[in-house]
Amino acid sequence: MKYTYLGRTGLKVSRLVLGTMNFGPQTDEAEAFAIMDAALEAGIQFFDTANVYGGWEPEGHRGWTEEIMGRWFAQGGGRRERVVLATKVYADFNKDPHDPNDNAGGLSAYKIKKSIEGSLRRLQTDHIELYQMHHIDAHAPWDEIFGAFEDLVAAGKVVYVGSSNFGGRHLAYAQAAAKERHFLGLVSEQHKYSLLIRQPELEVLPAALELGLGVIPWSPLAGGLLGGHALDGQGGDRSRAAAAALDDAARAQLEAFHQLAAGLGEAPANVALAWTLAHPAVTGPIIGPRTVAQLNETLRAVEIELSPETLAQLDAIFPGPGGPAPQAYAW
């Protein structure tokens, strides 16, 4: 495994991030335990989850994933000490995050302080290394938000604060507010980014790079479309559904991508992950294995160095916006 610093901090993290959203609904507890053990053995020590992962009733329940991770930590053996743990706050534990009723979602000081206690209890730990805002909250002022996070940092319950699904302007607003308070502010932004979703190159990635935030791409395989089985119907439920909806042009893109990966002698998924790792703003993409075998298949990604020629070929297959704004569309 390779390692880097999380944004401008002194915290070292693995260049692959273990995503846990499948734990519970898609991956049973025994397999989840095996995946986390295998990840640590392979050198992946950056684990990402969220307070609401676990699904809806009757298929599951929100908080299930954190509960599974908590029981894994409780086994001891240095598991918790070795993991850089990231979780999230925004959506309500039991309600639809977009329900306007009774503080169902958001980043009020009330919500942040209530949510951290639930996550700590489910995860069976006394602190979170990276506590991430899962979405923006246009109704909560930054003085309220950062005041709550400062209290959590002072209490030793949170070490660093991150964001997820923020626009470039939100990152700038947040850091300006943090500077006024003499607070470190954000250290990372978790964002949807892949060969199929390149819009973040306009504003989010340049802003993160300039502000010293580590970008953590989620869905770097575009829901499985950039994996090896997207076109043969052998992938997971999400990738099969997405593949079934492809038009002829999108299918041709993926076929060209698979041919390029075959020419490199690499798995398509690993080429897609290596592409995200090549961006200077990226700390590491989130991988979400459902099995230990899937985890092991992705480890190769950190060893792949894509040549300028290969990067140009990928740009030709999946055209990006043309660079950062405004140069991408103006003189």
Residue with tokens 């791409």: 217
Which two tokens mark 109? Answer: 């000081």
* Mean of pLDDT values over 174-196: 98
| Amino acid 93: pLDDT | 61
Which two tokens mark 89? Answer: 């706050």
DSSP 44-106: --EEE--TTTT--TTT--TTHHHHHHHHHHTT-TTHHHH-EEEEEE-B-SSS-TT--STT-BS
b or e along 273-285 (b: 16 or more beta carbons within 10 Å of the residue's beta carbon)?
bbbbbebebbbbb
pLDDT of 238 higher than 70: no
pTM: 0.94
Q: Which residues contact 163 (CB under 8 A, 6 or more apart)?
A: 132, 133, 136, 170, 171, 174, 186, 188, 189, 190
CB 119 within 8 A of CB 66: yes
Task: Report the C-alpha gap between 168 and 193 in whole angstroms.
Answer: 14
Q: Which of 53, 90, 131, 193 is catalytic?
A: 53
13 or 62, which is more confident? 13
CATH architecture type of domain 3-317:
Alpha-Beta Barrel (3.20)
Task: Report the C-alpha gap between 57 and 71 in whole angstroms.
Answer: 21
| Amino acid 306: pLDDT | 98
| Amino acid 105: pLDDT | 78
CB 35 within 8 A of CB 289: yes
Q: Which one, of 278, 273, 268, 265, lies nearest residue 312 by Cα? A: 278
CB 123 within 8 A of CB 66: yes
Q: What's the N-to-C CA distance of the chain in angstroms?
A: 41
Q: Which residues contact 165 (CB under 8 A, 6 or more apart)?
A: 134, 135, 136, 190, 191, 192
Alpha helices by DSSP H, the chain: 29-42, 64-73, 79-82, 109-123, 142-154, 168-180, 204-211, 237-244, 248-264, 268-277, 292-298, 308-317
160 tagged catalytic: no
Determine phi and psi for 119, rounding to 5 degrees.
-65, -45
Q: Is 233 left (phi over 0), alpha (psi -120 to 50) or beta?
A: left
pLDDT of 1 higher than 60: yes
What confidence tens digit (pLDDT) does each residue in 133-159 have? Answer: 999 999 999 999 999 999 999 999 999
Task: Report the C-alpha gap between 331 and 323 in whole angstroms.
Answer: 12
Based on C-alpha coordinates, what's the Rg of the chain? 19
| Amino acid 55: pLDDT | 81
Give the Cβ contact number of residue 150 at 10 Å: 17
| Amino acid 232: pLDDT | 72
Grade residue 289 by pLDDT with cuts at 50, 70 and 90. very high
Task: Report the C-alpha gap between 257 and 314 in whole angstroms.
Answer: 7
* Mean of pLDDT values over 99-115: 81
* Mean of pLDDT values over 298-319: 98
pLDDT of 112 higher than 80: yes
Task: Report the C-alpha gap between 39 and 295 in whole angstroms.
Answer: 7
What confidence tens digit (pLDDT) does each residue in 194-209 have? Answer: 999 999 999 999 999 9
Task: Report the C-alpha gap between 22 and 2 in whole angstroms.
Answer: 24
Grade residue 228 by pLDDT with cuts at 50, 70 and 90. confident
